[in-house]
Amino acid sequence: MTGTLIRALSGFYDVDCGGEVIRCRARGRFRYTKESPLVGDRVELTPTEPGVGRLDKILERRNAFQRPAVANMDQMVIIVSQAIPVTEPFLVDRVAALAESKGCEPVVVVNKCDLADGQDLWALYNRVGYKTLRVSAKTGLGVEELRDLLANRVSVFTGNSGVGKSSLLNALDASVDLPTAEVSKKLGRGRHTTRHVELFRLGSALIADTPGFSSFDTETPELLDKEALAHTFREFRPYLGQCRFVGCAHGKEKGCAVLRAVKRGEIPKSRHESYLRLYQAAKEHKAWEKKG
């Protein structure tokens, strides 16, 4: 049988096989091949008794991510906020660049617009060219527009803790009934309410809810190749290949077309700063690999 892995928890894998959910253990061979089944994987399994089976094989993936730990996603829906907790643009840029590198469409959803209008973040990412929405899980603002954006796609909700990923899923479908928590005003951040990755079906949409990032969590981030990084910033692309020097890093080089675009205001300064941080991280990682 084949199906879609919808939940992975404590060594058990729940697989949706056309409406029937079968709880599986993975074959021992996965320990030797070091393959890790991910939520969103298409898999082959063998039923062993009613509702129980053995996960045999992971079918070819379209894409895969370490964090959030998902596979075969059409959209990376990055939930952000300008209310507490305020989302740093660097977090958005890092996740969006990773999505772009794997053929997954970034979508920026500014939540909690009942508390802060979110106009600054909306304007920044709308200008970049991402699908960008202003929503409120509490009042329903933009929820129907978000529903339309999710239809007929496999999406993953991600973002820092407390921005309202689970609240938005509840607003989209009250029957999901995910736990939510108040944000700490003293600390300015949310608490983790989602403990594992799970894929939910909402009409024609499949949506993965994931544990939130701890504010500025950079634990074992997936690093992009520094040579390919500039191509994951879509507003850089019209200027790539126009620099004076081949292999331009778009940092301080003379004759850099990207830097000229930043100075003219054609590329947002915050986006270029994020690019430089990611470039440096990739560069240091490569240096560490060579040293090791």
Tell me the per-residue pLDDT of 191-246, one tens digit each, with 9 for 90 and over: 444 457 889 989 899 999 887 654 334 444 577 888 899 999 999 999 999 999 99
Query: 193 with 104, same domain?
Result: yes
Tally Cβ neighbours within 10 Å of residue 109.
28
pLDDT at 165 over 50: yes
Q: Say which residue, 187 or 68, is predicted with more confidence.
A: 68
Q: End of a domain among 42, 58, 74?
A: 58
Domain containing 238: what range?
A: 226-291
Tally Cβ neighbours within 10 Å of residue 272.
21
Question: Is 219 inside any structural domain?
Answer: no
Q: Kindly state the DSSP code that residue 129 receives in the 8-state scheme.
A: T
Mean pLDDT, range 126-138, rounded to an integer:
96
Residue 265: is it exposed, middle or buried by C-beta count within 10 angstroms (0-12/13-18/19+)? exposed
Question: Is 183 inside any structural domain?
Answer: yes
Q: What pLDDT sits at residue 191? A: 43
Question: Is 169 inside any structural domain?
Answer: yes
CB 92 within 8 A of CB 100: no
Q: What CATH number should be reported for the domain holding residue 24?
A: 2.40.50.140
Q: Say which residue, 25 or 175, is predicted with more confidence.
A: 25
Give just the sign of the alpha carbon dihedral 240, 246, 248, 252.
negative
How many structural domains compose the chain? 3
Contacts of 99 (CB under 8 A, 6+ apart): 76, 105, 106
Question: Is 220 inside any structural domain?
Answer: no
CB 215 within 8 A of CB 85: yes
Give φ, ψ of 195 to 5 degrees. Answer: -105, -15
Q: How confident is the model at residue 12 (pLDDT cuts 50, 70, 90)?
A: very high
Query: 135 with 266, same domain?
Result: no
Average pLDDT of the chain, as a whole number: 87
Q: What CATH number should be reported for the domain holding residue 261?
A: 1.10.40.50
